[in-house]
Amino acid sequence: MFTVMMRSTVLFSTLLMSQVSFAQLDTAVFDAATAQKSPMITTMERLVSVESGSGDREGLGQIASLIAAELSALGGDVELLQAGDDVYRMFDTPEQLGPMVHARFSGSGDKKILLIAHMDTVYLRGMLAQQPFRIDGNRAYGLGISDDKQGVALIVHVIAMLQALNFDDYGTLTVLINGDEEISSPGSRTMLTQLGAEHDVVLSAEPTRIDNDSLSLATSGIGAVTMSVKGRASHAGAAPELGRNALYEMAHQLLQLDDLSEPDVGFKVNWTLAQVGTNRNVIPADAVATADVRMLRLEDFERLESRIQERVSNRLISDTEISLRFENRRPPLQATDASRALAAHGQQIYAELGMTLVVNDQAEGGGTDAAFAALQTEAPVIERFGLQGFGAHSNNDEYVLLDSIEPRLYLLARMIMDVSTGAAPGVK
């Protein structure tokens, strides 16, 4: 009994000493993160000061050149990539898309690591004049600063940290910054998927929340369905019987399509937009309705088309015409054993700072470019390496927490270093 107790005590002490040892802060890396805080704030200000809405090709070109110059100055092999002929066109896809910034840093090792972020925002040109970059206490405000210009700045300054530490044990450190994320990445999704398949790990720098210092391993997929009804116009008072009321037919169809959701598997279909009619006294000839679709499994969206096609064949007004358009706007990101193992390693890195890192492996509501990068790979793909932020897509209070800069720089730098040296699990 005494021997067993002694062995148990020794084992517990060994484990405890191992945890204490592992939790020892890497002061060189932390000092490098601290040194980059002020320069990173300056970079965020420069990025926020360039208006770069998803449809603003001039602004996107300007900010792409700025980012390319930063990465080139750090020694990267940098190129600006244009969308090719494989653009996935959706209802809100601009005729011309902004460029992607692609940079490669070659090292002495063999691991291939991909870092991604996006430079476009949801804001319209001209809003910057009323809402310039500003700092108020621990908060830095600016349009797009959280989503996702902090992510761009974070990647730039993590690379600067690695160079200050003379660390190049990776094989290839690749950066892709796209300019169409906010419109579901119609021009960059192919490149994201291709690069994801070519790398051993993908780390995405979207922000984490101010109330949940976390990493994410799963997000919802996003789809859309547009139903167009073609009827016939006529005078609503003098000859309504000669018309074919598209509004009536659309209402009939929406009532037939109100139970497509399957909450038990995270599949949600909600009709959210409708456009119909031109004048009060005209029987409407055209009606359009749009549904928002969220999914945890891509196959649920793929079988939605046949379900809707079957139902709309039942018409209220027989000689109306119905057309349907299905848009796979973004696939879901699904947690894997590899991403769970690597994220758990990230929690241990955060513990070195005396901080707790939450890992969310259940899907969140928003979509992510990381899902495109994960489509054709079994490598770990992890989201939300960015700063703690708030107010994305709002028009008056988007900000990041400045005291999250050092922890997030430390986390991403250490993750890159440990993946490169083989010290991180989940990476083949």
What is the per-residue pLDDT across 267-285, written as a single tens digit (0 to 9) for each? 999 999 999 999 999 999 9
359 found inside a domain: yes
Q: How many domains does the chain have?
A: 2
Do residues 49 and 143 both lie within one domain? yes
Q: At residue 27, does pLDDT exceed 50?
A: yes
Residue where one domain finishes, among candidates 330, 351, 369: 330
Strand-pairing partners, residue 140, are 135, 400
In this structure, the answer to whether residues 51 and 156 fall within a common structural domain is: yes
| Predicted confidence (pLDDT) at residue 233 exceeds the cutoff of 50 | yes
Tell me, what CATH number does 147's domain have?
Answer: 3.40.630.10
The domain boundary residue, chosen from 309, 330, 351: 330
Domain of 122, in residue numbers: 17-219+333-421
In this structure, the answer to whether residues 162 and 146 fall within a common structural domain is yes
CB 268 within 8 A of CB 261: yes
Comparing 163-177, 191-205, 287-301, 362-376, which segment has the lowest mean pLDDT? 362-376
Does residue 180 sit within a domain? yes
pLDDT surpasses 50 at 380: yes
Q: Is the domain of 204 the same as that of 230?
A: no
Q: Tell me if residue 213 is catalytic.
A: no
121 vs 146: CA distance, rounded Å? 10
Q: Are residues 194 and 315 in the same domain?
A: no
Looking at residue 365, what is its pLDDT?
A: 65
* Residue 64 sits in the same domain as residue 164: yes
Is 9 inside any structural domain? no
Residues 255 and 369 placed together within one structural domain of the fold: no
Q: 3-state class of 78 per DSSP?
A: strand
Task: Identify whether 1 is part of a domain.
Answer: no
Q: Which sign, positive or negative, has the C-alpha torsion 301, 297, 363, 47? A: negative
- φ and ψ at residue 32, rounded to 5 degrees: -65, -40
Q: How confident is the model at residue 13 (pLDDT cuts 50, 70, 90)?
A: very low
CATH code for the domain in which residue 246 is found: 3.30.70.360
* Residue at a domain's end among 302, 330, 358: 330
pTM: 0.90
Residue 5 lies in a domain: no
Report CA 412 to chain centroid distance, whole Å: 17
pLDDT at 364 over 80: no
Clarify whether residues 256 and 273 are in a common domain.
yes
327 is catalytic: no
Cα–Cα dist 222/300, whole Å: 11
Same domain, 395 and 305: no
34 and 166 co-located in one domain: yes
Q: What is the mean pLDDT of residues 284-302?
A: 95
Q: Which of 56, 120, 148, 352 is catalytic?
A: 120
Residue 215 shares a structural domain with residue 228: no
**Residue 254 near residue 230 (C-beta atoms within 8 A):** no
CA atoms of 285 and 240, how far apart (whole Å): 12
Rounded to 5 degrees, φ, ψ at 400 are -125, 155
Residues 298 and 155 grouped into a single domain: no
Catalytic residue among 148, 181, 364, 369: 181
